Chains A and B, each alone.
Chain A
Amino acid sequence: MAAGEMFNQSARHPLSGSRGIWSALHIDPILMLLLLALIAGGLVVLFSGADQNMAVVKAQGIRMGVALVVMLVFAQLDPAVFRRWAPWLFAAGLVGLAAVLLIGVGAKGAQRWLAIPGLPRFQPSELMKLVVPMMVAWYLSRHYLPPRLRHVAVALVIAVVPMAMIVLQPDLGTSLLVGVAGIFVVFFAGISWRLIGAFFAMVSVAAPLMWFFVMRDYQKQRVLTLLDPQSDPLGAGWNIIQSKTAIGSGGMDGKGWLQGTQSHLEFLPESHTDFIVAVLAEEFGFVGMLALLVLYLLIILRCLYIAATAQDSFSRLLAGALTMTFFIYVFVNVGMVSGLLPVVGIPLPLISYGGTSSVTLMAAFGVLMSIQTHRRMISA
């Protein structure tokens, strides 16, 4: 088809000289560069946040290496593979979530892990962060876009069922990200603004119901503490007060690397995991925060560009949703640490210490690279 000729990459690609190599490796060099910069900067901050514990930095480095490999593996696969496998992966994911609820293992009153003999322990809910947008994208791209109400309803069911199963674990943060990923697909598919309006109206009704019937006490406490951290300065409010103090005392230029008193004197809790951004803000100041957010913005811009230029609806919807999910990570994490949002357990993507979410995130970037580097004639 002639339309396919418009997507001749050699004419459009800015790095056309090396296009051949990158394309053969299925790597998007710009995105790769930005991700490596983020990961490297993240390890520097982690060294400080983990109180100069080199073992923590090494472990995180190894994890990031594994995540990069996973990303490259995903990048090698054709987007059509994701599309074909989406329903099966979704079904497998639902079975996994059910299994977690029945025989899952975990700690601190939450069952999140599945320990199947012979396989490494894993979290089906993490997998769903990828599979739910795939499934919704698969479903909607089979029909005319914008979707009809009936299709929107089915798409929302596809998103809400795993979301509900994850809430039961309970894991509010992951559930939120899974649901958001599905909803973004629906939004990118072109759901009408009237429906969006109706949806927000519904949410405003559902919120009080959630409060009274669904939310656990610790989740309510987080919301209440957000509204007034001083009400419980030594308990739930402690984290927020201390993280705000860390951020605020950083000032314009920060206290300098490894010089943050809030984190190094152990006032700041979770300083190498969920609250690591406070360490960065304290030690590198407003300038450092600006640099971090700009880096995230560049990644998001590149990913949205990949989405906008993707060849088919499935790829576009999936790429757009994965990108926006990544952004939600950033916004919710920085928002909660700076006291704008309640504390939900969402890490700062690719910087917070911890394995599973980094692997999932890098897998998503692998999907994006796959979409960017597997181009062909539409009719093929």
Chain B
Amino acid sequence: MPWGEFKDIAAERRLFQRRTVVMLLLVFGLLSLLIARMYQLQVVEHDIYTTLSDKNRVQVQSVAPPRGLVYDRNDVLLAENRPVFSVTLVPERVGHMEQTLAKLQEMLSISEEDMERFHRRLLEPRRPFQELPLRYDLNEQEIARLAVHRHELPGVEVSAELVRYYPHSELTAHALGYVGRINRQELQRIDSVNYAGTNYIGKSGVERFYEQLLHGRVGYQHVETNARGRTLRVLERENPVPGEDIRLHMDLRLQRLAHELLDGRRGAIIAIEPSTGGILALASVPGFDANQFVTGISVEDYRELSTSVDKPLFNRALRGQYPPGSTLKPMLAVAALDSGVTTRDKTIWDPGYFQLKEGGRRYRNWKRSGHGWVDLKDAMAQSTDTYFYQVGVEMGIDTMHKYLSAFGFGEDATLDVSGALSGLAPSRDWKRAVHNEPWYPGDSVNLGIGQGYMLATPLQLATATSVLANRGNWAEPRLLKDIKGDRSIDEVLPIGSHQSIELNNPDDWEYVVDTMAAVMHSSKGTARGAAKGAPYRMAGKTGTAQVFSLAEDEEYDEEEVRERLRDHALFVGFAPTDDPEIAVAVIVENGGSGSGTAAPVARALFDAWLLGFPKEGEALIVGEPEGGSH
């Protein structure tokens, strides 16, 4: 059919125009629908979508406060913060976790331990969108490599965080303690808001005790992020309040000297400033590098530390509970005088042993031949066991317990020393409760020379010595000297509750100090060698603690006993005698005799503190060991 034929052109046009009107109506109708839809979204529901849009782009991030710094008394930095770069993953934003980890493993060296730890953390409860660290301490090459591949790795970030660093770690590990990753138990204990941005918490020592003070208060920032979670800009920020910087009583020079003096041995030194109770040195040797604990120590390194026979992780100064031996005699001398069991003039005959009754067990003096007639001063100077056996029995357990408790034995008398143990000051009730036996006179005999059940930590010995140096006035041992900011130390340091020891005759203090000076300076004194040539007067007492006990008449030769079974060498003392500035307790494990090993250590500390620290290269130990002591 040819086009145009038989057609009613006008009718077709009208029909088309009618249809066009219908289409126009359709166009108007549908466009109105679109406009209505836009009005609904953009005007009516505008607020809802604005909120959604802001929620999309704005996120609240916590900003961890920088941890407070720790200084020694001379403002030498002991604990600081340094930036460490680590690679972290936000599991919510990582598409394929295993793929991403495989890729990262190609780029960085990630140990199996890091992997394991990461997987463990992945399973642990955590905040949503929290960054999980995979590896710490990236080097610059690794950071660059990650930056290049950043777009392939959604959810992977290189984050810089301030991490605790102990510049003198080996020296201060036991005194300061260390921080570590917050673990699950701690997570339940801490204020989750204030720790929202914090990954570390004080695990031990000062770091643990003053956690609140050092931590500071968390800050916040509102950041704009894109759909992949990258932070684009900070919209609003409330700065964190940094932790307080604190100053300790500790003197790093003394602390270092203490470590050097014990170098190659196992032992502990505590030095206290008697007037304040401030701990000047707290050394437990061998120490360890606390820095490896901060970001998580490897299993291998930890095994090496924890299984070492030298027990470097063991804090001997606070937690080593030793029989105090003869170092307990000055406190017992105070007790004996004040309780009237003995007087300054009273003398006894020492045949070399003590018997409770005729023909009974012989308690031996360390000098088998005996010291003959001795008074209290002689007994102190020569450490005559026989004398103290007798006054021990005569005082009885109740009296001894009363006085020993007053000197702080059997309790943790410290104000802010985390983890200090309380030792054991035995009593009648204690023995009944624990051994279900009465207190025998023989127990009192042993306690008279600081043996038997009695246990004390080096810190307790130093504390008691400090109280004695103070003539009975208590100043509880403490680490914190002051806070560098505006805050007063009274807010954070617990208040000591110990009563001063009041003697019936206050002059007895001077007398006992004299007897201790005789240990150092008299011709019979067990530690006379260690005090030789000193330009000041010092007081002290040597001691030896048996590692294993000997049968009554058994002889033993030091040389034959394996080194680790040798006696522990102990010494307590203070100087100068009239206005004491330093009181110390020294224990050298398996050191042999207190006079030969421990006393010269104390002398070196006294010299350094009173006369000035030795220059490098100078001999540390002065004097010679002379004579044995018990």
Contact = CB atoms under 8 A, between A and B. Distances in A.
Interface of A: 3, 83, 141-146, 184, 187-188, 190, 241-242, 244-252, 261-262, 265-267, 281, 285-286, 289-290, 293, 296-297, 300-301, 304, 307-308, 312-314, 316-317, 320, 324, 327, 331, 334-335, 338-340, 378
Given A248-B45, A248-B46, A261-B224, A340 B33 contact: yes
Contacts of B46: 248-249, 251-252
B232 interface: yes
A146 B16 CA distance: 9
Given A285-B42, A290-B35, A265 B225 contact: yes
B226 A265 contact: yes
B7 to A, nearest CB: 6
Contacts of B53: 245-246, 248-249, 261-262
Contacts of A188: 16, 19-20, 23
A266 B24 CA distance: 38
A324 to B, nearest CB: 6
A307 B20 contact: yes
Interface in B2-31: 3-4, 6-9, 12-13, 15-17, 19-20, 23-24, 27, 30-31
B30 A331 contact: yes
B227 interface: yes
Given A249-B54, A285-B42, A324-B27, 10 more contacts: A142-B1, A144-B7, A249-B46, A262-B56, A266-B228, A267-B226, A289-B38, A293-B35, A340-B34, A340-B37
B16 A289 contact: no
B536 interface: no
A38 B34 CA distance: 18
Nearest to A265: B226
B34 A335 contact: yes
Contacts of A262: 53, 56-57
A316 B14 CA distance: 11
A324 B20 CA distance: 10
B20 A308 contact: yes
Interface of B: 1, 3-4, 6-9, 12-13, 15-17, 19-20, 23-24, 27, 30-31, 33-35, 37-39, 41-43, 45-46, 48-50, 52-54, 56-57, 224-228, 232
Given A244-B41, A252-B46, A261 B6 contact: no
A41 B363 CA distance: 109
23 contacts: A83-B3, A142-B3, A145-B7, A190-B15, A242-B56, A245-B53, A245-B56, A246-B49, A246-B53, A248-B45, A248-B50, A248-B52, A262-B53, A265-B224, A265-B232, A281-B41, A286-B43, A293-B31, A296-B31, A304-B20, A313-B12, A339-B37, A340-B37
A221 to B, nearest CB: 20
Given A261-B56, A265-B56, A316-B16, A286 B227 contact: no
B43 A251 contact: yes
B16 A313 contact: yes
B34 A338 contact: yes
The 3 closest A-B pairs by CB, nearest first: A248-B49, A249-B53, A265-B226
Contacts of A250: 42
A266 B224 CA distance: 12
Q: Which of B1, B15, B42, B224 has the most CB of A within 10 A?
A: B42
Contacts of B232: 265
B45 A334 contact: no
B227 A266 contact: yes
A145 B11 CA distance: 9
A320 B225 contact: no
Contacts of B54: 249
Interface centre among B8, B9, B23, B50, by most A CB within 10 Å? B23
A316 B16 CA distance: 8
A83 to B, nearest CB: 8
A266 B232 CA distance: 12
A297 B228 contact: no
B31 A145 contact: no
B52 A249 contact: yes
B29 to A, nearest CB: 10
Contacts of A184: 23
Contact of A146 (B15, B38, B224): B15
A257 B193 CA distance: 39
A190 B3 CA distance: 18
Contacts of B17: 308
B31 A265 contact: no
A83 B3 CA distance: 10
B570 to A, nearest CB: 69
Nearest to B32: A293
A362 B271 CA distance: 93
